[in-house]
Structure 1
Amino acid sequence: MTLDLTGITSKAAIHQLFKEKLGFEDWYGANWDAFWDSIVAIVEMPPVLTLTNWEEFAESCPRDMEILRQVIEDYAEEMAPKRIVLG
């Protein structure tokens, strides 16, 4: 599965995209802890989730991009062979 992050320039926007495209629950908390809980225990993730055009998000939200990179790393360790990649 591929998610295009073109135009995503805020933490709220990226979490809304994840909620819509990954099928998170209505009560999804739109924060990184809730994202982690959702991808490891609540929704069925695809074998590979590719995030494309993420550079604009990284530039607009460097701290959140740093957190997302850590989540990607932790997910690879915790959920192998499933993974999230930046494409």
Structure 2
Amino acid sequence: MTLDLTGITSKAAIHQLFKEQLGFEEWYGPSWDAFWDSIVAIVEMPPVLTLTNWQEFAEYCPRDMHILRQVIQDYAVEMHPKQIVLG
């Protein structure tokens, strides 16, 4: 599965995209903790989730991009062989 992050320039926007495209629960809010809980225990994630055109998000939200990169690394360890990749 591929998610295009073109035009995503805020933490709220990326979390809304994740909620809509990955089928997160209605209660899901813009939190990296909620994102982690959702991807490891609540929704069935695809074998590979590719995030494309993420550079704009990284430019506008460097702190959140740093957190997302850490989540990607932790997810690779916790959920192997499933993975999230930056494409």
TM over 0.5: yes
State percent identity of aligned pairs. Answer: 87
Deviations 1:1-39 (A, max 9, x none): 000000000000000000000000000022000000000
AA paired with 1:52?
T
Secondary structure of the equivalent of 2:39?
helix
The whole-number CA distance in structure 2 between the counterparts of 1:8 and 1:60 is 9
The 4+ residue runs of structure 1 with deviation greater than 3 A are none
Deviations 1:17-73 (A, max 9, x none): 000000000000220000000000000000000000000000000000000000000
* Structure 2 match to 1:23: 23
Report 1:37-48 matches (<5 A). 37-48=37-48
* Structure 1 match to 2:59: 59
* Structure 2 match to 1:85: 85
Secondary structure of the equivalent of 1:19?
helix
Q: Please give the TM-score of this superposition, normalised by the length of structure 2.
A: 0.99
Correspondence 1:76 to 2:86 = no
Q: Please give the TM-score of this superposition, normalised by the length of structure 1.
A: 0.99
Root mean square deviation, CA, Å: 0.3
